[in-house]
Chain A
Amino acid sequence: MEEMRESVNIVVVGHVDHGKSTLIGRILYDTNTLSEGAIEKVKKLSAEKGKSFEYAYLLDAFEEEQQQGITIDTTQLQFATQKRDYVIIDAPGHKEFLKNMISGAANAEVAFLMVDASEGIQEQSRRHGYILSLLGIEKVYVVINKMDLVAYSEERYEQIQQDFNEFLYNLNIFPIRYIPISAFLGENVVEKSDKMPWYKYDSILETMDSITKEEGVKNMPLRFPIQDVYKFDHRRIIAGRIESGSIHVGDEILISPTNKVTKVKSIEYWAEKDKGDMATAGMSVGITVEDEFFNKRGEIISLKKDAPITGNLFNANIFWMGKSDLVKNKSYKLKLGTQEVECEIFSINRVIDASTLETLDDSSAVHKSDVAEVTIKTKQMIGFDEFKNIRNTGRFVIVDELNVSGGGIISGIDSSLQNRELTTKSTNLAPRKRLVSRKDREQKYQQTGKVIWISGLPGCGKNEIAVKVEKKLFDLGKKVYYLDSANIRFGLSSDLTFTEADAHEQTRRLAEVASLFADSGMITIVTSVSKFKQDREYARHIIGEQKYIEIFVEATEEVCRKRNPKGVFEDSDAHLFYEKAEYPVVTLYIDEAEFNSDKKAEAILSLIQEK
């Protein structure tokens, strides 16, 4: 069998003139990659400019670049070693060409960050380091170049390593190695240099060949953003690329953010050789589904058990490359996967000078080349992930006017603000990045926060059951709290009466409070008449289906009247009417006034234990 071809993308970044182009030129030269024509051209050019041989000309293809001796735009070149293929990406070092550096580096799996041994760490060395961390490039090597200018000094090497580590560790970049070289003289480029016997590790090229390629996304949750829907013939094909995970014919799939569920009917193909009943991350495919409801570009297909977050608010770390500043109260376009939505900057939480890590005093705007922590609000609900969990659906770009002007990665959003559309009248909010997540709490407390929503007509006995449930759970060592809707009316809801509109508002407040309690890890018991199904659906929406357990205490009219003689049925004549839910809920029947609340509480306990 033929050996599998493999290709690794490596970007070379660093401050201007630290030798990026020279290193790449040297590698291409030494691996016999260059055509004779190309070498001749560079020899001629170098001679014209009175230089011996300028390796940089091999990459700086534009006339302007060669004349001014700078790299303006990123270049991608290919070469091969005995082992495999490489795409090597040259990135410009000037601050003003940061957008081109980012365009180059975003394609890389590995980065070589160049530092001039005599000049030491400079502004762009640090800024590029920061950008690498935002791009999520974890495999970073620092290359200390021009060792010939410092007499191949080990001391100098150690010094730079120490200084730079201090900075990079703060960004969660842990360089795999610092490699001392002289790009121009070829020391430690292809073979180990005898000028630096104190350096015990591999040369640049040996290092490259030792890098293992990451192939992890296949085993992650399925993310299949819809790119387009085709109807060229009888088939209605949903086309797109699988960003992570895999998909099979017959899979039950969820479409976010609409929350529709269906099954994969087929995976389509044109060439006979592409026929199959599964597809994995990286593949551009087309599927048909069993229920042909309307779907459109931007929606994300996942498996039901591992859906992306949906919401319209999230925190992000961004870098800005726009000509005009990034500001609040302005409409931008956000592109995340195949989604394109209007968005605005809800708050700028911190603006950072990427070359010093210092927080800038002025956080009213983000200037070109700065990085920032912001909260973004989109006009519609979108599906996304935290970047640390799934990369491709956890990053986005921001378009200002006609230009891609910024990029960012999603650091998350408080779980109490997920899975629903948020609106607010205040413009001065900033949902902070938290250090304790719901998952953390769950692990610590050994329980999952949830809301047990007990509804039923006045007099049905729900309060009696609720206090028992609270006590039993408490005795079991659980963290539990009973939110009595009647008590809330004395405080939080003292402004509300019993009209239908106020009853609706009361449900909203109760649900919001309960949702926060559940988010804090608490098992939260709520009692509320909430006899209109619309109200309970609303509560379920606010709290989130995963956390919401609805229980209906159904008592006969006789029981209710007997247990609630004063009859707080002020809102209408149809006081004994209860509108049942359209989804299955647990119902507890009460047919005698002196019922055993202990037994009913036990029933609820066994129910939530299973959950």
Chain B
Amino acid sequence: MDHLDRLEAQSIYILREAYKHFGKLGMLWSVGKDSTVMLWLAKKAFFGHCPFPFIHVDTTYKIPEMIEFRDRMAKEHNMDLIVEINREALEQGMGPEQGRLICCKALKTEGLHRVVKNYGFEGLILGIRRDEEGSRSKERVFSERNAESEWDYTDQPPELWDQFKTDFKKGNHIRVHPILHWNEIDIWEYIKRENIPLVDLYFAKDGKRYRSLGCAPCTNPIESTATCIDDIIEELKNTKESERSGRAQDQEASHAMQKLRKEGYM
């Protein structure tokens, strides 16, 4: 087994644990590279099947190519797709001009919380990674959220020997993080090896590409000439910029991300 085999086997193990333990389980699919890798891992874990729905929290501010790609993949892979839009908030005029963090909370955190409530999810699979940002580097693989989707990071349960938190109070839910242990380069090497389809936005056009995808008003492409995966890997090996530096919500005051995530953000 090589490095990617080991990462893959561990992720599959986690996905199967989630499927075994949670009656109501869903996978968050942001359309980005990480969650598309997860879709792939799920197909491997369940031998070509996807035994749970995929959830896309749509802020209506997403980059249009993302929505196009989403709908194409959903059809091709016969995915059971739930698209959640927080219409109430939008009708009341919610948007990035109200303040980035306020908007993120209303359209993403709230949106996510509503899906959990409406469908009664016990388990929610998310594609976050430890190397993305500080509060994620401290996450557990199975991470409990209370009835309000809040995270008590000051008192996380022990997690050892792949024995995860599977007992919890009714009304709470568990965030499952199957690719927590991967890093950004692992993701790209795996996409290359497995030939996983991706939205074009990641590849450079006119000297720019997206390194991380989000809402159009708050996501900036980076300067890049990387037009293929090999170029991207080479670029990443030599950069000192952080992956999410193009994501506005990460650049706000210190601990902004921790606060967002405490309230239930991905």
Contact = CB atoms under 8 A, between A and B. Distances in A.
Interface in A34-52: 34-38, 41, 44-45
A403 B167 contact: yes
A61 B138 contact: yes
Contacts of A72: 154
User: Main secondary structure on chain A at its contact with chain B?
Assistant: mixed
Contact of A36 (B43, B168, B240): B240
Interface string B94-138: 000000000000000000000000000000000000110111011
30 contacts: A4-B3, A7-B6, A36-B241, A37-B241, A41-B254, A45-B254, A61-B135, A61-B258, A62-B154, A73-B153, A76-B181, A78-B183, A102-B158, A103-B158, A103-B160, A227-B20, A232-B47, A270-B44, A270-B48, A273-B194, A282-B1, A282-B5, A286-B47, A321-B158, A397-B163, A403-B165, A404-B163, A405-B158, A407-B158, A407-B160
B52 interface: no
A268 B47 contact: yes
A520 interface: no
A73 B156 contact: yes
B46 A335 contact: no
Interface stretch (A234-242, A302-310, A579-587): A234-242
A62 B153 contact: yes
B211 to A, nearest CB: 12
Contacts of A286: 47
A36 B251 CA distance: 13
A265 B5 CA distance: 24
Contact of A228 (B16, B44, B156, B158): B16
Contacts of B12: 241, 284
Given A100-B158, A282-B1, 7 more contacts: A4-B3, A32-B240, A38-B242, A271-B43, A274-B44, A283-B1, A397-B158
B181 A35 contact: no
Contacts of A77: 130-131, 137
Contact of B258 (A62, A78, A107): A62
A435 interface: no
Contacts, number: 158
B33 interface: no
Contacts of B212: none
Given A241-B13, A280-B1, A395 B47 contact: no
Given A230-B47, A241-B13, A63 B258 contact: yes
B157 A269 contact: no
Given A36-B240, A228-B20, A99 B254 contact: no
A239 B48 CA distance: 14
A175 B182 CA distance: 30
A227 B9 contact: no
A321 B169 CA distance: 20
Interface of A: 4-7, 32, 34-38, 41, 44-45, 59, 61-64, 72-78, 85, 87, 99-100, 102-103, 106-107, 135, 227-228, 230, 232-233, 235, 237, 239-241, 268-271, 273-274, 280, 282-284, 286, 297, 321, 333, 335, 392, 395-397, 399, 401-405, 407
Interface string B34-55: 0000000001111111010000
B22 to A, nearest CB: 12
Contacts of B131: 77-78
Nearest to A333: B167
Nearest to B242: A35
Q: What are the nearest 4 A-B pairs in CB distance?
A: A61-B134, A106-B160, A284-B12, A35-B242
Contacts of B258: 61-63
Nearest to A336: B163
Contacts of A273: 194
B19 interface: yes
Nearest to B133: A61
B176 to A, nearest CB: 15
A460 to B, nearest CB: 55
Nearest to A399: B167
B3 A7 contact: yes
Give the most central of B17, B51, B181: most A CB within 10 Å: B181
A76 B157 contact: no
B222 to A, nearest CB: 13
Contacts of A87: 181
B43 A270 contact: yes
B157 A99 contact: yes
Given A62-B153, A75-B138, A232 B51 contact: yes
Contacts of A280: 1
Q: Which of A45, A78, A274, A282 has the most CB of B within 10 A?
A: A78
A286 B45 CA distance: 9
Interface in B213-266: 240-242, 245, 254-255, 258
| Interface-central residue, B1, B5, B140, by most chain A CB under 10 Å | B1
A62 B194 CA distance: 36
B168 A4 contact: no
Most B CB atoms within 10 A — which of A230, A235, A321? A230
Given A37-B245, A61-B138, A99-B157, A232 B46 contact: yes
Nearest to A63: B255
A392 B19 CA distance: 22
B206 interface: no
Interface in B1-27: 1-6, 8-10, 12-13, 16-17, 19-20
A75 B181 CA distance: 11
A407 B159 CA distance: 10
A271 B194 contact: yes
A76 B137 contact: yes
A63 to B, nearest CB: 4
Interface string B151-193: 0011011111101010111000000000001010000000000
A587 B44 CA distance: 54
Contacts of B5: 282-283
B48 A283 contact: no
Nearest to B163: A397
Contact of A404 (B9, B165, B183, B240): B165
Given A77-B137, A283-B1, A395 B161 contact: yes
Contacts of A283: 1, 5, 9
A271 to B, nearest CB: 6
**From B44, B163, B168, B254, residue with most partner A Cβ within 10 Å:** B163
A237 B138 contact: no
A76 B44 CA distance: 27
Contacts of A7: 3, 6
B41 to A, nearest CB: 10
